[in-house]
């Protein structure tokens, strides 16, 4: 786990996308579990608070879309 500081205008999704390159449900759930008091700050995080970011793959594996002519 690593700790990062929030910057102006950060939301949980924006912070996850900046740090991990993803902001899906799994990453967000892990972040909320690691930072139980984070929700008290509201939808926009204050500047300069420490947030523990989960160690995860940067992006989940992409699946190839099914096309009509396959």
User: How is the chain split into domains, by residue range?
Assistant: 2-53
Residue 6 neighbours by CB under 8 Å, 6+ apart: 15, 45, 46, 47, 48, 49, 51
pLDDT at 60 > cutoff 80: no
For residue 5, count other CB atoms closer than 10 A to its CB: 12
Q: What is the pLDDT of residues 5-47, one digit of tens each?
A: 999 999 999 999 999 988 899 999 999 999 999 999 999 999 9
Q: How far apart (Å, rounded) are the C-alpha atoms in residues 14 and 22? A: 9
β-pair partners for 4: 51
Q: Is the pTM of this model over 0.85?
A: no
């Amino acid at each position: 786990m690593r700790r990062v500081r929030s910057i102006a205008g950060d939301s949980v999704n924006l912070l996850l996308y900046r740090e991990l390159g993803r902001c899906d449900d799994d990453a967000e759930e892990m972040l909320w579990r690691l930072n139980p008091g984070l929700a008290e700050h509201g939808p926009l995080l204050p500047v300069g608070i420490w947030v523990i970011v989960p160690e995860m793959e940067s992006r989940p594996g992409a699946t190839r879309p099914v096309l009509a002519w396959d």
